[in-house]
Amino acid sequence: MQTDFERAKILVSGAGGFLGRHVVEQLLARGARAQNLVTPRSGELDLREPDACARAVEGMDLVIHLAAKVGGIGLNREKPAELYYDNLMMGTHLIHQSYKAGVGKFVCVGTICAYPKFTPVPFREDDLWNGYPEETNAPYGVAKKALLVQLQAYRAQYGFNGIYLLPVNLYGPWDNFDPKSSHVIPALIYKIAQAKQAGQKTLPVWGDGSPTREFLYVDDAAAGIVEAARTYDGAEPVNLGTGAEISIRDLVEMLCELMDFKGEILWETDKPNGQPRRCLDTSRARAEFGFAASTGLAEGLRRTLEWYARHGERLSLV
């Protein structure tokens, strides 16, 4: 059954975040009314608390759960307990309170980190349980994957309509460029910008450059999430991605060229590489709700760099 965005009261958790901004824009573009959108910030509601979740979902027809505590390899190594606890509690309580409140549909956005460390490439949703996640990301990945189990259990016992989406690594305008907690693309953009500003002749980068990653432009991800919220009601998880991978080495070289950095790249092979390969099978998303990414990596990086050039100083990161 299709969700009527014009009439639905919609809660978007994490609406002020990187992905949330773009999902709200897509909802408004698809007919949602601003007065029916509820977008609480973390300072207003602590979603780790069940009472806060109960207040947030009261009267809602649709909940899109994007709020997460998330970061790159550095944060995952530094704060695994917080990443596990905060993400598990937010999702668990929000799902349970949504069920109790009679919410018509729940959209949970998971993480590519939930996949096993040595998943055959391309990653297929059916392989999600065939091993343990890459150790660095495991606490975060397991916490988010547990929400899929909860949604499927609530569907089986209560008939609760919850869907689960697995977006690949995202990038784009309004990303987190803080080097202490950012993912690979914004972290590299910040690092290269700093190196250029300081006149450095070298660029140190973690790992040996061999791992591959897939990257999805944030506007494409938001479009996929909103279309799934509108039309997908299945119990099975669904990947959101481009189906194309690139090595970290090639990504760094591409960014250096786009940002006109001429220095030497120094690979810090004593630092972790992370998961060896990441690339998704996106056929289920195409079949179930017609999703296909429309922004290539080079074009997406150009748009991201244009945004960063305009907004970097405001973020106090340049």
Question: Who's near 74: CB < 8 A, 6+ residues apart?
Answer: 180, 181
Residue where the block lists tokens 């016992």:
157
Is residue 191 marked as binding?
yes
Is residue 43 marked as binding?
no
Dihedral sign (CA 52, 56, 59, 60):
negative
Is residue 74 marked as binding?
no
Phi/psi at 68 (5° precision) = -160, 150
Is residue 9 marked as binding?
no
Identify whether 140 is a catalytic site residue. Answer: yes
Nearest to 170 by CA among 59, 63, 285, 20: 20
Is residue 96 marked as binding?
no
Residue where the block lists tokens 């509108």:
230
Is residue 100 marked as binding?
no
Nearest to 19 by CA among 141, 164, 168, 145: 168
243 DSSP assignment: S
Phi/psi at 202 (5° precision) = -130, 160
Is residue 17 marked as binding?
yes
Is residue 169 marked as binding?
yes
Is residue 167 marked as binding?
yes
d(CA 24, CA 274): 31
d(CA 87, CA 69): 6
d(CA 242, CA 299): 13
Is residue 196 marked as binding?
no
List 115, 140, 164, 190, catalytic entry: 140
Is residue 144 marked as binding?
yes
Is residue 116 marked as binding?
no
d(CA 47, CA 307): 31
- The binding site for substrate consists of 191, 206, 213
- The binding site for NADP(+) consists of 14-20, 144, 167-170, 183
Q: Which residues are catalytic?
A: 140
- The binding site consists of 14-20, 144, 167-170, 183, 191, 206, 213
